[in-house]
Structure 1
Amino acid sequence: MEDKAVTAIIDKINTVSEKTLDQATTKAAKKFLADSLAVGFSGYHEPVAAQLRQTAKQWGTSKQACLIGTQERQPSTSAAFCNAFQIHCQEFDCLHEAATVHVMAVLAGSLVAVADREKLTIEDALKAIVVGVDVAAGLGLAAKKGLTFFRPATAGAMGTAAAFGTFVKLDEVKLKNFMGLVYSQLAGTMQAHIEGSVALPLQIGAAARSVITALDLSREGIGGPHNVMTGPYGYFNLFEQDANCESFVTELKTKSRVLELSHKPFPTGRAAHAILDGIRSIMRENHLVVDDIKEIKAAVPPLIRRLVDRPIKNDMSASYARLCIYYLSALMMRDLRIDRNSFSPANLKDNSLQIISRKLVLIDNDLKDPNALSPQHIILQTFNGQTFELDIHATLGHPDNPLNYDDQIEKITNCLQTDTHDESKTYISKATDLLDMKEDKLLEEVIATL
């Protein structure tokens, strides 16, 4: 029996491969490719990313593929693992909010890893992104239950397999084998998220590596299962039980999900962003400092509690702290900013942040949708009796509350700036070139300029 969802994915691949992208879609795909490369460059400088790259040297020594952030090269599988890890390890990569999927981490990390051997142009990459985002986000949107498997890895891998279909030139049987072999390697659960473990971005890296492995196997004629979406043990019966396959198939034909992606303004779990931006907005507008604040109440959906409502601890890792709303809100109250320097060993051990964190109280807003990040309501009370309230219907970075062009340039500049003493105009120029990349350039050439 034909798998209608697999058929719909192949139809999507063929449709996008044969057409010219419209201007709005091109612009959106380009800005989120630029964003992903920039946060991957920033992630390169995380100490744990260096540990991963050192470990990956034990997996092979060929110089096939690009690594974001360095001229060093690795086997394609290792490069995909490291690139995707770097993109997600700071929790700074874009996502589709309603789908609860970081759609670009596996995808961009894998694209960079094959950029040289496939001779990908930026135009090739943009078409791949459109298909990959549509599939990955579509899978998340079809879900009716909260996350159990780590959707950015599972849906991300399936989306990336579809994305690769736009340029790898496999016949239909080999393409189904390819998707089946990716599916057969799907892994990653929410346990790593619950514990705030670095295994979370490692799951992203493993997903990217699995795509390269599956591609190489399928090109050699090695088969895989074909009914991987609607089969008895397919995606919709195992990873997303009770998901709406019909809506996935229908909307894959009509929706452009890349237009619905959200930027992340802070390198933290997205579930923290509305509260963080709400605190910053109220404090800035009313010229408040941390000592003015008596209490902040945030009425939030259940997903917020599930993802970032965890206790602040003395021995937190950076991975844990990025998902701890109490640590993050304390930083925002104290510093009015959160950037990649906010997770230094000194900050993680600063007992004063634990005291400040007690000012935040989370309460439920009675929303029933298990995958919703908004709306949220912030109430800030001061010691002198003032009360400030803020309704947040769209978090900063969402298409309904987007980062403007200057904000995007600032984020990319900060990601690329490795030495704060260097002239910032050099990094601003690099950021502008990245965001405005030319479609006829090779992706590898763009990566080399970072």
Structure 2
Amino acid sequence: MANPTPDVFDALLEHLLETQYAQLPEETIQRVNQRLLDSVGVGVAGHRADDAAGLIEVAKAWGSGEEATVLGTGIKLPATSAAFVNGALIRSFDFEPVEAEGPAGKQVAAHISGTTVAVVLALAETTGASGEETLAALALGDDLAARLAIAGGFDVYSGQDNTGTLNTLAAAFIASRMLGLTKAQARHATGIAVNQAAGNVAAIFDGANGFKLPMAFAARSGIAAAQLAKAGLESAADPLTGKHGYFQLFGIDAQPELAVQGLGESFHGDCTIKPYASCRAAQPSLQACAELVADGSVDYTDIECLTVHLSERTLNGFVGARFAAGDTRTVAALFSVHATAAIALIHGTVRPEHLTASALADPELAQMLGRIELVASLPNSQRLTAEITARLRNGEIRHVRVEHPDGNILRTPLEHDQVVEKFSKNLEFSHPELAARKDALLHQLEHLSSARDVSELIATLDPSKNFTPNYQEQLS
């Protein structure tokens, strides 16, 4: 970046700190509510990840505090630690909202919500923020993050993991607003966040459960950045567009001016609610497999062999490796076209319950894996397209093509009932006690704008509490 453009940064900060809830379009609030609902559900499901208990114990050892709660528990921690744990829980099954959409109709790979929801809930509880302010902070943090994602550019195969770079700034933006920072302090918070931004996708290639940590570290670091700035710590004058700033360090053909295009007129964020628990790059192929068996005319046992057609870039990326029969690592399956295709053929979908160690040890899965081949036969421009060709034991050939998988609100949106069903199943999978409170939780999440604060929501999410919500008492 030859010439810094502080006017971009100034405009973004003014938008963040001065925009009020009443100025947000109804459509924006609806989308924010949906992302919040979805993230809370997958966060609760994250307790079934093998490493969840260990993560919580580590966070507890960092220090005690009563500021914020770990989702799905009554455990209280400092806000930074609670946001860290909740970010990791939300990321655990790669089931959270994804794909940032932004100015000029552009979209880019991103997982913003897993960090921003963790941060906004922790700080809403800490500060006693109203439901309206909680939603406004989330809407504006998501908007700025999506704008930076589009303006900065991102290549999912570059080796960077923007859940640890972009998301750290997103967390700092929300924390700056919710902790009452001035514009000058918010500028420093952003710079401190840039100094903590980091992340790569190496763990994903190796199927390591540490893949979730960049999202969690981003939540913790962003809050800490705002706390430090409020305490008087300073940063570079322009940590976004200046020398060695965010765009220079992490951007790919960055266009900073895109970040302010339509600012205050359109509001952006993650635009996909995932119907399946897997990397988005694996969803076209697994959806094709699910469609093959959906009407019951083909059973997975009828399939003699099946070929999945992908782009060369997808096949050579982190979802293209073959999944070894007997491998029971959840992360290795999440990021595998091979594994998720086999699971979809057997179960008609891919959900967290199909990705536990015991589920992955199913001998039927091992047999199905042996009948699937992956080939690079589609152009690289078809990143989210897949085809399958199945030869049945009776000699019949079946072909299914998915141009774009379900879930993108701008192209292939899920119905509201499907989003609610996903939420309900995630509660049931992890905390049956909370599944019995589904209606109360749905009411609280969908009417958060009318709540005095988030205390009743947090209490309802604690399965140890006998709690019958009084809807009228929650409304201001």
TM-score by length of 2: 0.86
* Structure 1 residue aligned with 2:216: 205
Q: Deviations over 1:267-321 (max 9, x none)?
A: 2212222211221112113521112123333333455331311221334421222
> For the structure 1 residues 66 and 24, does the alpha-carbon distance in structure 2 shift closer, same or farther, using more than 3 Å as the test?
same
Root mean square deviation of aligned Cα: 2.4
Within the alignment, does 1:412 sit opposite 2:415 as a pair?
Answer: no
1:12 matched to 2:51? The reply is no
Kindly tell me: are residues 233 and 217 of structure 1, through their superposed partners in 2, closer, same or farther at Cα, counting changes over 3 Å? same
Counterpart among 332, 344, 367 of residue 355 in structure 1 = 367
Q: Distance in 2 between matches of 1:423 and 1:75?
A: 24
8 Å contact 1:380–1:387 — kept in the other structure?
yes
Offset of residue 202 of structure 1: 1.3
Give, in angstroms, the shift of residue 209 of structure 1.
Answer: 0.6
Moved more, 109-118 or 13-22: 13-22
SS class of match (1:227): coil
Aligned residue type for 1:280: A
Stretch deviating more after TM superposition (39-48 or 355-364): 355-364
Q: What secondary structure does 1:261 align onto?
A: strand
**Equivalence for 2:92:** 89
Q: Find the partner of 1:110 among 102, 119, 128.
A: 119
Q: Distance in 1 between matches of 2:15 and 2:234?
A: 22
CA distance, structure 1, for counterparts of residue 88 and residue 22 of structure 2: 32
8 Å contact from structure 1 (residues 437, 446) kept in 2: no
Identity %: 23
Letter in 2 for 1:103: I
Asked if structure 2 preserves the Cα contact closer than 8 Å seen for 1:230 and 1:236, the reply is yes
Give the 3-state SS of the residue equivalent to 1:96 in structure 2: strand
Q: 1:164-313 to 2 correspondence within 5 Å?
A: 164-250=175-261, 252=263, 254-258=265-269, 261-285=271-295, 287-302=297-312, 304-305=314-315, 306-313=317-324
Please list, as runs of the form range in 1=range in 2, the aligned pairs for 1:394-409 lying within 5 A after superposition. 394-399=404-409, 400-409=411-420
Shift, 1:77, TM fit: 1.5
Query: How far apart are the structure 2 equivalents of 1:340 and 1:145?
Result: 27
Distance 2:17 2:55 in 1: 36
Task: Note the alpha carbon deviations across 1:233-277, whole angstroms, 9 max, x for none.
Answer: 11111112322223233255554223x611111222122222112
Q: Say if 1:420 and 1:213 are closer, same or farther in 2 by CA, change over 3 A.
A: closer
Residue 432 in structure 1 maps to residue 464 in structure 2: no
Provide the residue aligned with 2:469 in structure 1: none
Distance 1:17 1:421, change over 3 A: closer
Partners of 1:102 and 1:419 in 2: CA distance: 22
Q: Which amino acid aligns with 1:331?
A: I
SS in 2 for 1:115: helix
Flag structure 1 segments of 5+ consecutive residues without an equivalent: none
Judged with a 3 Å threshold, the aligned counterparts in structure 2 of structure 1 residues 316 and 228 are, in CA distance, closer, same or farther, namely farther
How many residues of Structure 1 are paired with residues of Structure 2 in the alignment? 446
Residues 66 and 115 of structure 1 are in contact (CA less than 8 Å); yes or no, is this contact kept in structure 2? no
In the superposition, relative to structure 1, how do residues 112 and 390 fare at CA in structure 2: closer, same or farther (>3 Å)?
same
Q: Deviations over 1:162-203 (max 9, x none)?
A: 233443332221110111111111111111222121111112
Relative to structure 1, the CA distance from residue 131 to residue 227 in structure 2 (aligned partners, 3 Å threshold; closer, same or farther) is same
Matched-pair contact (CA < 8 Å) for 2:171–2:223: no
8 Å CA contact retained: 1:409, 1:428: no
- CA–CA distance in 1 between the matches of 2:54 and 2:154? 38
Q: Give the secondary structure class of the aligned counterpart of 2:278.
A: coil
CA contact (8 A) 2:206 2:332 kept: yes
* Aligned CA distance change for structure 1 residues 128 and 307 (closer, same or farther; 3 Å): farther
Query: Where does 1:32-43 land on structure 2 (aligned, <5 Å)?
Result: 32-43=35-46
Alignment-derived partner of residue 391 in structure 1: 401
In structure 2, the residue matched to 1:327 is 339
Could you tell me how far 1:385 is from its partner in structure 2? 3.0
User: Residues 45-56 of structure 1: matches in 2 within 5 Å?
Assistant: 45-56=48-59
Looking at structure 1, the residues matched to 14 and 432 of structure 2 have their Cα atoms a distance apart, in angstroms, of: 51
| Contact 2:21-2:136 at 8 Å conserved across structures | no
Q: Secondary structure at the match of 2:193?
A: helix
